[in-house]
Chain A
Amino acid sequence: MSRIGQTFTALKAQNKKALIPFITAGDPGKGMTVPLMHALVEAGADIIELGVPFSDPMADGPVIQRASERALANKVGLKDVLTMTAEFRKTNTTTPVVLMGYANPVEHMGYETFAQAAKAAGVDGVLTVDIPPEESAGVSDVFKAAGLDPIFLLSPTTPESRVEQVAAAAGGFIYYVSLKGVTGSANLDTEEVANKLAMVRRHCSLPVGVGFGIRDAATAEAVARIADAVVVGSRIVNEIETAPEGECVNRVKHLVAELRRGVDAASKQA
């Protein structure tokens, strides 16, 4: 079983839900990413989603877009992200790391080369936002063969007929994007999400994480009641963007601890 699978199994045994924070590698500085990753774990992260910077992040809103621009200005590319993961792994061998990004940097490195390098660096899963299952032949298999979980998205616009196809290509967990729109959008209707998740679970046995629109303990708690994992991106990246120099790690730690309390409150009441 993969490190991601083990994490979900262990949480389930404790009747807990997973918290998955997202940061963009190289933001705010090249040397900040590994300390931030450790801080996320200390504050209660179960899995880390590490954004791979890309020049044209089509599916992201302004907050993550700016993080990508800052990281690129710091000259952080896919190889650096793998180096950072390997560095993180020197002292943490248990927390799964999922890389999230766009197809082109991976395609440019070569899927096979990337998969081997990512596995060697200690990466557990890969989400390439703009490779849907229809285009994933020769990608998912390569990832799976290397021992990487291919993570796929489902969205409110995904028809029921597609869910099985997406689930078949996926590994690790399914990432349900709870809103139409780009990352960082507002307003989350948890009842609507709950209905959609019930449908998803009829076709898919993988754990389901929910992201988009989670910004505090209350929204984290609401989502933790219905999902297996709570994914938080823009809110954390926003904290990194606005933190005064030197306070970034502490601010992020504080925020993630608050989100953790929200997630755990859901399982206590359940």
Chain B
Amino acid sequence: MKLTDLPDSRGHFGPYGGIFVAETLMAALEELRVEYDRARNDPAFMAEFEYELKHYVGRPSPVYHAKRLSEQYGGAQIYLKREDLNHTGAHKINNTIGQALLARRMGKKRVIAETGAGQHGVASATVAARYGMECVVYMGAEDVARQSPNVFRMKLLGATVVPVSSGSKTLKDALNEAMRDWVTNVESTFYILGTAAGPHPYPMLVRDFQCVIGRECLTQMPELTGRQPDAVIACVGGGSNAIGIFHPYIPYDGVRLIGVEAGGSGIASGKHAAPLSAGTPGILHGFRSYLMQDENGQIIETHSVSAGLDYPGVGPEHSYLKDAGRAEYVAINDDEALAAFHDLCRLEGIIPALESSHAVAHAKKLAPTLKKDQIILVNLSGRGDKDINTVAKVSGITL
């Protein structure tokens, strides 16, 4: 089987993925699987999706040659895929539009979502407003506190934001709570899952909706540089922006695919969110993948300056690509990500999301090892307006 043919009909990427949920959700997931299968083979559905991406999101997003950054980093030429320029400021909207169109097709009037940094929550609230649906967003209480601008955005868009105070009060607990809501309201409610994770068919359908990123790059890079890049770099939390840009590049053997996890205070410190770099396979949130867990199989708390990467699991396709050797995964620590954040602000006039800053930080390490005529494509998955409070705080500045 080719790497691009996955998952199989039951949602497996080799040993990863699958459907590990309670019986109560099995019928809903089957309904979603069947409906998505119809939708993706329905030219009218795909045409509407593409229309919305063009006219509502503003796609295609540009690819930009970051010349001053490349010069500073000294080596390969760095290009940025500008997902930060999308409506709502991140790649998340690609997926929420796709899922909202599916929800409408299935006659569901209520949508729910989980969110970490708040980007997916904002993107969900946005499409709920756009298509006239009720929207409830679950968000860890700790994230509500550190991402207050996005919480207010969601409220402005008409969504209800529910702070989740169980467990570690972050993304994983918000996901637990969203699943509980879905179990309870399964007939009226569509769960807009924010990343390429969760039970089948979510990892597949989120990937498919996000693949527009990589497909555009396949056209844009030759237009701009005459060829495809030598390496593609993307940050990996759940991994939707990464799989979106990686997947179309999988058949291009000459293109290195590098996923960047959150190293937090450093892998050795144990305070990080890097399951592919330092975890082991297990089952959480409906799928099998690399996880951060202790010796009893309990999920351990994660640490990252970036709320969007603060998740103990990772989308199953990344686990598969790691084992297959087609993608490499590295970790970037908080301080390295913050340095890259400032680099991009000052050298290119772009305030990147802290998530995306992890990808830029790895480009900073990789570029000097490559020749000046080599090309690194970084997925700049989101803009950093939401992070200015966090950056001020870690810099000791009161706004």
Contacts and interface: CB of A to CB of B under 8 A. Distances in A.
Q: Which of A65, A69, A102, A157 has the most B CB atoms < 10 Å from its CB? A: A157
Interface stretch (A36-44, A124-132, A200-208): A124-132
A157 B282 contact: no
Nearest to A109: B297
Interface stretch (B15-23, B94-102, B363-371): B15-23
A227 to B, nearest CB: 16
Q: How large is the interface on A (under 10, 10 to 19, 20 to 34, 35 or more residues)?
A: 35 or more
B216 to A, nearest CB: 36
Interface string A172-192: 000001001110010000000
A180 B24 contact: yes
B184 A180 contact: yes
B27 A157 contact: yes
Contact of A56 (B23, B28, B172, B184): B172
Interface in B158-190: 166-167, 172-173, 176, 179-180, 183-187
B299 interface: yes
Contacts of A65: 166
A158 B25 CA distance: 9
A132 B286 CA distance: 10
Contacts of B179: 58-59
B41 interface: no
Contacts of A162: 26-27
Contacts of A143: none
A55 B293 CA distance: 10
Interface in B191-244: none
Interface residues of B, number: 39
Nearest to A175: B23
B110 to A, nearest CB: 14
A57 B20 CA distance: 13
A133 to B, nearest CB: 9
A61 interface: yes
Contacts of A72: 298
Given A155-B24, A177-B24, A104 B283 contact: yes
Nearest to B178: A58
Interface of A: 53-59, 61-62, 65, 69, 72, 77-79, 102-109, 129-132, 134-135, 152-159, 162, 166, 177, 180-182, 185
B299 A135 contact: no
B326 interface: no
29 contacts: A56-B172, A56-B176, A56-B285, A58-B176, A58-B179, A58-B180, A59-B21, A59-B22, A59-B179, A61-B180, A62-B166, A77-B296, A77-B297, A105-B298, A108-B293, A108-B297, A153-B22, A154-B23, A157-B24, A158-B23, A158-B26, A162-B27, A177-B22, A180-B185, A180-B187, A181-B180, A181-B184, A182-B180, A182-B184
Nearest to A154: B23
B78 interface: no
A102 B167 CA distance: 16
A104 B22 contact: no
A17 to B, nearest CB: 22
Contacts of B296: 77-79, 105, 108
Contact of A177 (B23, B176, B297, B299): B23
B23 A155 contact: yes
A69 B22 CA distance: 20
B298 A59 contact: no
A135 B183 CA distance: 19
B139 interface: no
Interface in B73-115: none
Contact of A58 (B280, B285, B291): B285
Contacts of B173: 56
A78 B282 CA distance: 15
